[in-house]
Structure 1
Amino acid sequence: MLKGTIEYAPSTFEERGAAVAFTTPLLSQTRVRKGERSRLEVLIPSLSEGLGIYVVPWKAVPDMVPMTMHDRYLHELIVKEDACSPHEIRRVTMKVARRGLAGPKAAQAARAALEEDDEQRTLTNYLLILAILKAAGMTSPDMLATDLDTDEGQRRTRDLMTRAATSLRLAPSVLYARLSELAEVVAPVGLYQSPKPGRLLRVFNELKGFRDSVDEWAKETYSDASPVASFCAEVAQHTIDIGDGVLKAFHGRIDAMGRLMRHWDGELAEVRSHAIRMSWLLDGWDYVINAWDASLAQDRQQQTLTVHELFRIIPLVPREESSRDLNGEAQKLQAVHRRSVRMLEDWRTGRMDLEAIRRIETVKARAA
């Protein structure tokens, strides 16, 4: 079933694959991608070889690893929906979590996250309306004071948007359709001027906090784990540097709302491309951030173990996505990692680590 171990140095995000929030320790944060003939395959990080990975046909995973009930259902649903991108994997993961198979707290967190998604789309839609009115040369003091939930508020909004459509030389129906499509693309990232950041922008900001926290821990800790923690902080900083550029380009397109509406097809494609790249860039970081945050309430030994667990799954930026390649630096740390890594589950005997499963479910309950 195994294709064998390979050095994990992907060239593209698609080759790196999308992280899957399994609760079985060995499978936690493994990545799914499309391999030969577009068949799904899973990349399982080697617990003892640092960046080495096992490439396993997706359908063979249940025969190879004893899986929790949550993971079996998640595995089946990913196959059924042919999910492979971060957006698709998150959608499927939320469906499974809502059923309570990863515990009631994870189910509650999933429901809250989906409600927050709806609220974010509504907020983004409203902010984009304001941006459209501004692009049409219209002031909107009335709009700012409008309660969109009332009949009067909706009528006033329609009147303003009709006037904006005329100014932009678009049919009102076309303007509304473009607004709706744009909001769907923008909402997961979020707008800078939003009083509440979008999901990806929030993870991006939390990544900066992770960088600072794990870097400080590395400087204060005198052990073999210190250089591993420093490397995790370095990977975070590398991701942040790239993300800053992506967000600047993303928001720059939206700020030029008039041009976006007039040159719709090309401009929307660019906005969508930046949003997709941001989702791939941050894929897997929410688990890393939440796992580290959870460890801060524990003793130094558990924090050290967490550092090594995170090193195993740290989302390295693919070679073609950056001029800098950190794989060489990661390989230098493999010897230290091998001396300190803790086996979460012995897949060869099928022994399940219930404490590790509980810890993973706790992290899932913190994730958005």
Structure 2
Amino acid sequence: MLKGAIEYAPSTFEERGAAVAFTTPLLSQTRVRRGERSKLEVLIPSLSEGMGTYVVAWKSVPEMVSMTMHDRYLHDLIVKEEACSPQEIRRATLKAARRGLAGPQAAQAARRALEEDEEQGTLTHYLLLLAILKAVGLESPEMLKAGIGTEEGQRLTRQLMARAADSLKLEANLLYARLAEIAAAVAPVGLTQSPKPGRLLRGMQELKAFRQSMTSWSNEVPSDAAPVAAFCADVAQHTIGIGEKLLTDFQRRVDAIGPLMRAWETEFVVIRSHAQRMAWLLDGWSHVTAAWDVAQTEDRHQQAATINDLFRVIPLLPKKESREDMLGAAKRIKSVHRRSVRMLEDWRTGEMDMDSIRRIELVKARAP
């Protein structure tokens, strides 16, 4: 069911919805959220070059738009799993891409992302275990020398963790359970002592590079898209500012592993909330930064077209997170945007823009 156009100015991340990596150009990076009676609905911006955002019942989308095979499978997965958070949508997206429905490169990228997730989880768990032992004065060169994956290393680890639990006045099983919970919450962000940053921390680094590149392009290229690029850089900068403050507090709390274990009921709730908020904050940006990376090898005209495409899906912050002038600037920039924007698909005839689909698949190969 098409509910009609709305002025898209959500108050919260949940109201903004989570971005979905469809390959059908008109649906690319549209957002899914829970609507009335917890029913899933999708927000489609600028439908038929309109100014508003259309709210569509999730189950009705295939009836409105000609979807690729990948997108029909992904749509069904989201319906089946009732996915709605960035983490849940990402899992569904990787499942769909892994089947090869968005091309072999996207399938390979999805498999690689899943492997990296598993490796990051294992590494985070191990580093947190070492941090707990260090916090209670039980660092063990013998355990490190033996290796935690060996039988001897595991025996030493169990002994040390039992002593750590006693020091923290916890049951050993409870300490292990809490360690697993922290690792699951922290792994997507990563630890300060980790040799490899987590996925969300890498996302922040990519966003900073995007901000700088957009600023340079807007200053150096005489184009109708220059003000649009400057606006995208401004949104990125505002997102970075919020993210850096969030990361500072997140890392401070995780690094204080001893106090965290002792004040578990309050501290872990905050840590988990911070990690979830980071996921919401950066939701949709991996597509934007990867699309701009792809455009770097192309001419200025195609780069301008990419910037206009990205404006349609730029992850604007909710009103509770945004500066007062941000939504006003978005409205002003739309007039510039309309002068050079190109339609990706004629939604009334259902004709596909195959070149745009191929470009989206290239982006999926970079940002699963």
Same fold (TM over 0.5): yes
Query: Where do residues 168-187 of structure 1 align in structure 2 (5 Å cutoff)?
Result: 168-187=168-187
Structure 1 match to 2:30: 30
The SS at the match of 2:3 is: coil
Q: Please, which moves more after superposition, 52-61 or 145-154?
A: 145-154
- Please name the residue that 1:104 is paired with: 104
SS at match of 2:2: coil
Look up the match of 2:348: 348
Q: Does the CA contact (< 8 Å) of 1:319 and 1:325 recur in 2?
A: no
One-letter code aligned to 2:24:
T
Runs of 4 or more, structure 1, over 2 Å off, are 47-52, 137-146, 321-325
Q: CA deviation at 1:280?
A: 0.2
Distance in 2 separating the partners of 1:54 and 1:114: 33
Q: Distance in 2 between matches of 1:5 and 1:98?
A: 34
Q: Give, in angstroms, the shift of residue 146 of structure 1.
A: 4.2
The 5 A counterparts of 1:102-251 are 102-251=102-251
The answer to whether the aligner puts 1:289 opposite 2:299 as a matched pair is: no
| CA distance in 2: counterparts of 1:165 and 1:293, whole angstroms | 48
Q: Supply the distance in 2 between the matched residues of 1:210 and 1:238 (Cα, whole angstroms).
A: 13
Provide, for residues 72-112 of structure 1, a one-character-per-residue CA deviation record: whole Å limited to 9, x for no partner.
11111101100000000011111111111111111111010
Question: 1:151-184: CA deviations, max 9, x gaps?
Answer: 1111122222122111111111111111011101
2:231 counterpart letter in structure 1: F
Q: CA deviation digits over 1:325-366, x for unaligned, max 9?
A: 511111111111011101000001111111111110110011
**Can you list the C-alpha shifts for 1:39-89, whole angstroms capped at 9, x where unaligned?**
111001105658621111111100100000111111111011000000000
TM-score of the aligned structures, taking structure 1 as reference length = 0.97
Deviation at 1:324, TM superposition (A): 4.4
> What RMSD, in angstroms, separates the aligned Cα atoms of the two structures?
1.3
Q: Aligned to 2:32, what secondary structure does the other structure show?
A: strand
Partners of 1:265 and 1:21 in 2: CA distance: 36
In structure 2, distance between residues paired with 1:8 and 1:50:
12
Letter in 2 for 1:41: E
The answer as to 2:363 corresponding to 1:366 is no
Specify the code of the residue in structure 2 equivalent to 1:367.
A
Cα distance in 2, alignment partners of residues 226 and 273 from structure 1: 37
Amino acid at match of 2:107: A
Matched with 1:91 is 91
Equivalent-residue separation in structure 2 for 1:347 and 1:330 (angstroms): 24
Q: Deviations over 1:218-276 (max 9, x none)?
A: 11101111111011011000000000111111111112211211121221111110000
Shift of the alpha carbon at 1:137?
Answer: 2.6
Instruction: Give the 3 Å change call, closer, same or farther, for CA 108–9 of structure 1 in structure 2.
Output: same
Q: Hey, what's the Cα distance between the residues in 1 that align with 2:263 and 2:15?
A: 32
Residues 245-254 or 118-127, more deviating:
245-254
SS in 2 for 1:320: coil
8 Å contact kept, 1:50–1:331: no
- TM-score when normalising by structure 2: 0.97
Q: Distance in 2 between matches of 1:263 and 1:170?
A: 12
Post-superposition shift, 1:134?
Answer: 2.0
Deviation, 1:145, is 3.6
Give the letter for the 1:328 counterpart: G
Q: Structure 1 51/258 Cα, relative in aligned 2: closer, same or farther at 3 Å?
A: farther
Name the structure 2 match of 1:73: 73
Contact 2:48 2:347 (8 Å CA) reproduced = no
CA contact (8 A) 1:189 1:201 kept: yes
Task: Give me the whole-angstrom Cα distance separating, in 1, the residues matched to 2:50 and 2:190.
Answer: 35
Q: Match for residue 273 of structure 1? A: 273
Moved more, 168-177 or 114-123: 168-177
Q: Distance in 1 between matches of 2:314 and 2:332?
A: 15
Partner Cα distance (2:283, 2:159) in 1: 41
2:308 equivalent in structure 1: 308
Letter in 1 for 2:195: P
User: Is the contact made by 2:9 and 2:319 (CA closer than 8 Å) also made in structure 1?
Assistant: yes
The answer as to 2:333 corresponding to 1:333 is: yes
Q: Which range moved further: 358-367 or 127-136?
A: 127-136
Q: Contact (CA 8 Å) 1:47, 1:312: kept in 2 or not?
A: no
Unaligned runs of 5+ in 2: none
Q: Which residue does the alignment assign to 1:45?
A: 45
CA contact (8 A) 1:296 1:303 kept: yes
Q: Distance in 1 between matches of 2:259 and 2:324?
A: 34
Q: What is the aligned-residue identity percentage?
A: 69
Take 2:316 and 2:151, find their aligned partners in 1: how far apart are those partners?
A: 50
Paired letter, 1:167? S
Q: Secondary structure at the match of 1:131?
A: helix
